[in-house]
Amino acid sequence: MNTGGHPGPKGPHGRHGTTAGDRGSAVSVQTRGAPRAGLGDEAPRGATSVRGGGAAAAGPRGAAAAEHGHGAGTPATGVRAGAPERAPGGGPGMPAGLLDGVRRWLAESGSEPTPARVAQALREQGRVLGAAEVLGAAEQLRSELIGSGPLDPLLADRSVTDVLVSAPDRVWVDRGGGLELTGVSFPDAAAVRRLAQRLAAVAGRRLDDARPWVDARLADGTRLHAVLPPVAVGCTCLSLRVVRPRAFTLDELAAAGTVPPGGDRILRALLGARLSFLVSGGTGTGKTTLLSALLGLVGPDERIVLAEDSAELRPDHPHVVRLETRPANQEGAGLVTLEDLVRQALRMRPDLLVVGEVRGPEVVHLLAALNTGHEGAGTVHANAAADVPARLEALGTAAGLDRLGLHSQLAAALSVVLHLVRDRAGRRRIAEVHVLERDPSGLVRTVPALRWSPEAFVPERGWERLRELLRNTGDGGAP
């Protein structure tokens, strides 16, 4: 179910990214365009490097061996050792030959790149460095071996939600206001491939010519997607979706302009009335962020069970059970689907069943659950709130549920659709609130109840129906 740089209140909105210099790296990180307000940036987190499998656990042996097995090492991006040489970002770096030798020694010995082990590896290469140089080399090697190399400074920037690599000199970021081209670069396409394969390896996944794409979650929650050539023409395409460990609160989203003034009261009433709902929108509109904030409003004595393809929801709630899908292994065994998770979640006494993203046959089990006394929520990709019934119909009929049967379950299961958009300025906001009703033919359609206004939600034709649904809270939620 996934939720830069808001100009609003301090906290998650007043962030300062870590520069390359802060990390002992000479990579130049220069982005074009200023960050703009929107739903896209996430709340602060601590450690920022992408590290798979817990570094020491999955760690240097597997990661270094995986990278070493795919060709020469990527020139590093930090402290200089030996003759001057230019690193990928334009600064001086450790000579590639020396870096390869240290990497090989660490891989063969199964050692983590601690300063002591790096110093020993350098001595084996016939190099003697001072203490400061050894520490710099160790940090550089950690970035190369278990970090994300030249992407580390971008992932350290708390306003960044996505890092996208489409070519060695085409590294883009999204800070919540649209994509910006950065000054970060790789030496060549082979270096991008090596990084993608190493990140996949530390996530416990395979990425090679026989299986040229991967979708995985790294140990810190970062979502990894990569496609190798020739499927990706010219260069490996690498996408990293950063997941912050703390969700925005609804008050923070309201302050950022995602929710209009007074709109937070309606959303609180929605949760208080125990209505089942879906959050819809296109890719990158902030569906996961909004859903996480809303789940934080659920009573502390209630049990939330999350079923997700990739664990992205981060509700601030004391009783959350998180279930995540699993791909099949190389023998084709061990597959766990979202449909499986929804079935298991129903046996776990959920007060609220949440599907991170409804996009397959799990819709049948979700609707069945919501018709048997459970409350639920989720997200769904749709271009407009009015498209949600057709989207669910397509998913349900593909899973074998007949059209009228699906609409009957849908009418009884769901009450509200919250639709998010990203406007031309890059801001993400709730555009509409719809209620569901059946037409004379028995099919479900959505009816607009509220629409966005900078001053407040504006009532539409379905407002009286929504107000009736919200009366269970003793607060009509009137705008």
Predicted confidence at residue 471, as pLDDT, reads 86
Predicted confidence at residue 220, as pLDDT, reads 83
- Domain co-membership, 233 together with 108: yes
Backbone torsions φ then ψ of 392, nearest 5 degrees = -65, -35
- Domain co-membership, 327 together with 185: no
Task: Tell whether 173 is covered by a domain.
Answer: yes
Task: Tell whether 419 is covered by a domain.
Answer: yes
Predicted confidence at residue 455, as pLDDT, reads 85
User: Tens digit of pLDDT for each residue in 140-163?
Assistant: 666 666 678 889 899 989 889 899
438 vs 428: CA distance, rounded Å: 30
Give the predicted TM-score (pTM) of the model.
0.68
Residue 29 pLDDT class (50, 70, 90 cuts): very low
Task: Tell whether 452 is covered by a domain.
Answer: yes
Predicted confidence at residue 9, as pLDDT, reads 40
- Domain co-membership, 400 together with 315: yes
- Domain co-membership, 332 together with 422: yes
Q: Domain containing 316 — which CATH number?
A: 3.40.50.300
Flag whether pLDDT at 307 surpasses 90: yes
Task: Tell whether 479 is covered by a domain.
Answer: no
- Domain co-membership, 276 together with 392: yes
With pLDDT > 70 as the criterion, what percentage of the chain qualifies?
A: 73
- Domain co-membership, 208 together with 317: no
- Domain co-membership, 434 together with 288: yes
Q: Domain containing 128 — which CATH number?
A: 3.30.450.90
- Domain co-membership, 426 together with 391: yes
- Mean pLDDT of the residues in the chain: 78
Predicted confidence at residue 473, as pLDDT, reads 55
299 vs 315: CA distance, rounded Å: 12
Task: Tell whether 161 is covered by a domain.
Answer: yes
- For β-strands 416-422 and 277-281, DSSP reports them as parallel
Last residue of a domain, one of 241, 273, 293: 241
Residue 83 pLDDT class (50, 70, 90 cuts): very low
- Domain co-membership, 227 together with 198: yes
Task: Tell whether 4 is covered by a domain.
Answer: no
Structural domain count, the chain: 2
Last residue of a domain, one of 241, 268, 298: 241
Last residue of a domain, one of 193, 218, 241: 241
Query: Which range marks the domain in which residue 158 is found?
Result: 21-241
Least confident range from 2-6, 120-124, 346-350: namely 2-6
Mean pLDDT of the 9-33 span: 37
- Domain co-membership, 460 together with 362: yes
- Domain co-membership, 146 together with 290: no
Mean pLDDT of the 329-348 span: 91
Task: Tell whether 16 is covered by a domain.
Answer: no
Mean pLDDT of the 314-320 span: 94
- Domain co-membership, 263 together with 223: no
Predicted confidence at residue 5, as pLDDT, reads 42
Task: Tell whether 8 is covered by a domain.
Answer: no
